[in-house]
């Protein structure tokens, strides 16, 4: 198999993001105890959780044939957070049902999930399979719904962010 290299600036940028990711993941445990509890789930939080799940599923499928296959990590993530992810789906469906009826809610949720999946069909905009594997493994070990929502915010950004403090909470 022939492997073609990336241009030097892109490779350097990916390595820099990877180093930042490692450093900030280590720091995230410090902030874990300072997170206030959220009183009730918000629709925005439910949408973010749905996006996180779909993003990891789609990118996990893309990375299955690479050396950084994280499909089993994704399986552990969904097993660990099944209640939270199902609750988010239920919250979205309930909210949409109140506003547009049950049939309209099902259709809208289908449109949302397809749109989210299409967004990551070509991969994550700034994380490679190795970085996604690390993030997914970390997310499969956390307990906090709020941390999952924060992770979804950070991971759904279209560009790398300076501070990526997620997943060891």
42 band by pLDDT with thresholds 50, 70 and 90:
low
Give the pLDDT of residue 158. 78
- For the ranges 21-35, 95-109, 154-168, the maximum mean pLDDT occurs at 95-109
| Section 36-45 average pLDDT | 52
Q: CA–CA separation, 151 vs 135, rounded Å?
A: 9
Residue 113: domain span: 43-155
The reply to whether 167 falls in a domain is no
Confidence of residue 17 (pLDDT cuts 50, 70, 90): very low
Contact indicator for 136, 166 with CB cutoff of 8 Å: no
pLDDT digits (tens, 9 = 90+) for 46-85: 999 999 999 999 999 999 999 999 999 999 999 999 999 9
**127-133 mean pLDDT:** 96
Count of domains observed in the chain: 1
Q: Give the gyration radius of the chain's Cα atoms.
A: 17
Tell me which long-range contacts 117-123 makes (C-beta under 8 A, separation of at least 24): 117/54, 117/57, 117/58, 119/55, 120/54, 120/55, 120/58, 120/59, 120/62, 121/58, 121/62, 123/59, 123/62
* Domain annotation covers residue 14: no
* In a domain? residue 103: yes
Looking at the domain assignment, is residue 114 inside a domain? yes
């Amino acid at each position: 198999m022939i492997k073609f290299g990336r241009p030097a600036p892109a490779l350097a940028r990916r390595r820099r993001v990877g180093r930042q990711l490692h450093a900030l993941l280590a720091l995230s445990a410090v902030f874990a105890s300072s997170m206030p509890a959220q009183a009730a789930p918000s629709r925005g939080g439910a949408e973010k959780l749905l996006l996180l799940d779909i993003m990891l599923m789609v990118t996990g499928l893309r990375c299955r044939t690479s050396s950084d296959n994280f499909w089993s990590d994704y399986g552990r993530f969904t097993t660990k957070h099944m209640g939270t992810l199902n609750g988010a789906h239920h919250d979205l469906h309930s909210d949409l049902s109140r506003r547009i009826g049950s049939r309209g809610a099902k259709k809208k949720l289908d449109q949302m999930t397809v749109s989210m999946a299409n967004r990551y069909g070509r991969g994550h905009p700034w994380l490679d399979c190795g970085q996604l594997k690390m993030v997914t493994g970390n997310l499969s070990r956390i307990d906090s719904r709020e941390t999952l929502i924060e992770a979804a915010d950070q991971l759904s950004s279209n560009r790398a962010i300076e501070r990526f403090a997620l997943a060891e909470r």
